Amino acid sequence: MLEKRVLWKLDNVTKTYMMGQVRVTALHETSMEIREGELLVILGPSGSGKTTLLNLLGGMDSPTGGHIFFDGESLEGADERRLTAYRRDVVGFVFQFFNLIPDLTAVENVALGAHLAQNPLSPESVLEEVGMADRMNHFPSQMSGGEQQRVSIARAVVKNPRLLLCDEPTGSLDCSTGRLILELLEKVNRTYGTTVVIVSHNSAIGGMGVRVATMSSGRIANWVTHPTPVPPGEIEW
């Protein structure tokens, strides 16, 4: 099998927050590599550092120690302009609570994502790809949670990002809707070759990852590899 190229690398990354006088270390000397086109799952209980890790990978936050590399170049070394370009063109984010703009329709929300990117896909075709072709002109309040999450995935995917970071993407959905969203994320990974990182406190989701990291108290406690992952449609929780 062709070895995929390592595109992201965390080298001994630490993130410490100061809360008044109290120092909180959200991430301790963490190292990992992410290969282009892989689908990676990161599990761990609330407070274990998952969102911190995603925000660092997405260039939304910078480490207090260690280095993060994208394509061989360190993000901390980049000036603000290059970091903005990284966030805008390389990274797409999917959140637990969708974060759609309430007074824009589905297609307008997705077009906004496209507008910000260098090399966007067509909003209509991506909405079709996520199964929302007949909801283009609906407002978020007129859509179910699962439908809103499809639109929010479309908004991220329309940028044609190389990395799709998903923070608890099924966290506010029931199990069967959540499964459809996980199937969609796997389809995005397969169709566009997007590198997908799914973060969840729900260990059942680990089954769909070829590689699965489990975090505990700001560290990656272990890695598991599934040569034949479970199809997301078969995950139960």
C-beta closer to ligand ADP: residue 55 or 160:
55
206: its two tokens: 């680990």
What is the C-alpha to C-alpha distance for residues 56 and 75, in angstroms, rounded to an integer?
9
Partner in contact with 49, chosen from ligand ADP, Mg ion, none, beta carbon below 5 to 8 Å by kind = ligand ADP
Q: Which stretch binds Mg ion (CB under 5 A): 35-43, 48-56, 134-142, 229-237?
A: 48-56
222 alpha-carbon distance from chain centroid: 20
Q: CB of 161 within 8 A of CB of 194?
A: yes
Rounded to an integer, what distance in angstroms lies between the CA atom of residue 93 and that of residue 159? 10
Q: What share of the chain is helix, strand, coil (3-state, %, to 5)?
A: 35, 30, 35
Q: Based on CB atoms, which residue is closest to ligand ADP, 52 or 152?
A: 52
For binding to ligand ADP (CB under 6 A), which residues are involved? 17, 19, 24, 26, 44, 46-52
Task: Say which entry of Mg ion, ligand ADP, none residue 232 contacts (CB below 5 to 8 A, set by partner kind).
Answer: none
Nearer to Mg ion, 136 or 217 (CB): 217
- The nearer residue to Mg ion, 61 or 124, going by C-beta atoms, is 61
Q: Which one, 50 or 162, has the nearer CB to ligand ADP?
A: 50
Nearest-approach distance from CB 113 to ligand ADP, in angstroms: 23
Query: CA–CA separation, 69 vs 189, rounded Å?
Result: 22
**Of these partners, ligand ADP, Mg ion, none, which one is at the site of residue 47 (CB under 5 to 8 Å by kind)?**
ligand ADP
By a kind-dependent CB cut-off of 5 to 8 A, residue 206 interacts, out of ligand ADP, Mg ion, none, with none
Give Cα 162 distance to the centre of its chain. 11
Closest approach, Cβ 196 to ligand ADP, in A, equals 17
Q: Which stretch binds Mg ion (CB under 5 A): 14-22, 43-51, 181-189, 219-227?
A: 43-51
Q: Are strands 73-74 and 91-94 parallel, antiparallel or unpaired?
A: unpaired
**Coil, strand, or helix at residue 220?**
strand
Closest CB 167 distance from Mg ion, rounded Å: 6
Taking the C-alpha atoms of residue 19 and residue 3, their distance in angstroms, rounded to an integer, is 43
Residue nearest to Mg ion (CB): 51
127 close to 154: Cβ distance less than 8 angstroms:
yes
Go through 91-109 and write b for each residue having 16 or more CB atoms within 10 A of its CB, e for each that does not: bbbbbbebebeeeebbbeb
Q: Which one of residues 7, 30, 49, 51 is an interface residue with Mg ion (CB under 5 A)?
A: 51
Residues that bind Mg ion (CB under 5 A): 50-51
